[in-house]
């Protein structure tokens, strides 16, 4: 890269490049050289902005986990409209067809990254724990509206939905599950606590 050319939002440029490599080639291919090559910047650019590559990856994971918060507001606002099953199936599909699934694979693949994240993340796997909180919040809102049973354990249901969703979508190279399969899984998990039986 020629000197004197400003890089706009280099952090986001590098994060976007890391996502592209991760989605295309998987966590084993994610190196600082692969990221800077994808971003079309000199290798030193990454190290000027981050202490080392694992620090870069930790920031990437935390940034992407934070972005899930935007989905939380939209999901909570949907409470009382449509169907609970439909909203949850849509949310799980959006979550697991995005970079989130690849981020989970990355965390699993890199020991040092997991160790770094443990220093700042309260527990669990970033992205998945954030998703559990979002789904639990939505189910709580639906419970308050009477569309989910008053005695439903929304935290346990949310964790089960995210775990089952992860298993359903986990094969990165395979064909994503059909919408009907996702809906059937959601119905299997929450069917007993639903009070609004609209299709």
Looking at the structure, do residues 35 and 116 belong to the same domain, yes or no?
no
Please report whether residue 106 resides in a domain: yes
On the question of pLDDT at 1 being above 50, the answer is no
Please report whether residue 104 resides in a domain: yes
Looking at the structure, do residues 95 and 188 belong to the same domain, yes or no?
yes
Looking at the structure, do residues 20 and 73 belong to the same domain, yes or no?
no
| CA neighbor of 133 nearest in space, from 157, 149, 113 | 157
**pLDDT for residue 197:** 57
Q: What is the pTM of this model?
A: 0.77
Q: Report the CATH number at residue 33.
A: 1.10.10.60
- pLDDT tens by residue, 40-86: 999 889 989 899 999 999 889 888 877 777 778 889 899 999 999 99
Please report whether residue 199 resides in a domain: no
Looking at the structure, do residues 95 and 185 belong to the same domain, yes or no?
yes
Across the chain, what does the average pLDDT equal? 86
- Cα 77 from chain centroid? 20
**pLDDT for residue 189:** 97
- pLDDT tens by residue, 17-47: 999 998 888 888 999 999 999 999 998 899 8
Looking at the structure, do residues 86 and 132 belong to the same domain, yes or no?
yes
> Using CA atoms, how far apart are residues 185 and 176, in angstroms rounded to an integer?
14
Domain extent at residue 24: 1-49
Query: What confidence tier does 152 reach under pLDDT thresholds 50, 70, 90?
Result: very high
> Using CA atoms, how far apart are residues 5 and 150, in angstroms rounded to an integer?
59
Q: Report the CATH number at residue 177.
A: 1.10.357.10
On the question of pLDDT at 149 being above 90, the answer is yes
Looking at the structure, do residues 132 and 166 belong to the same domain, yes or no?
yes
Looking at the structure, do residues 77 and 9 belong to the same domain, yes or no?
no
């Amino acid at each position: 890269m020629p000197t004197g050319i400003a890089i706009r939002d280099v952090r986001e440029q590098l994060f976007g490049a890391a996502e592209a490599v991760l989605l295309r080639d998987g966590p084993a291919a994610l190196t600082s050289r692969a990221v800077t090559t994808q971003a079309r910047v000199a290798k030193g650019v990454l190290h000027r902005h981050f202490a080392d590559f694992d620090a870069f990856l930790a920031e990437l994971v935390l940034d992407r986990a934070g972005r899930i918060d935007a989905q939380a507001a939209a999901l909570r606002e949907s409470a009382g409209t449509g169907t609970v099953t439909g909203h949850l199936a849509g949310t799980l599909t959006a979550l697991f067809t995005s970079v989130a699934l690849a981020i989970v694979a990355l965390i699993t693949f890199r020991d040092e990254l997991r160790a770094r994240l443990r220093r700042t993340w309260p527990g669990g796997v970033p992205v998945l724990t954030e998703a559990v909180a979002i789904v639990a919040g939505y189910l709580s809102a639906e419970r308050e509206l009477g569309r989910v049973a008053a005695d439903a354990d929304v935290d346990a249901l949310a964790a089960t939905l995210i775990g089952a969703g992860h298993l359903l979508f986990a094969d990165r190279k395979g064909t994503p599950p059909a919408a009907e399969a996702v809906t059937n899984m959601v119905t299997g998990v929450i069917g007993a606590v639903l009070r609004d039986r609209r299709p």
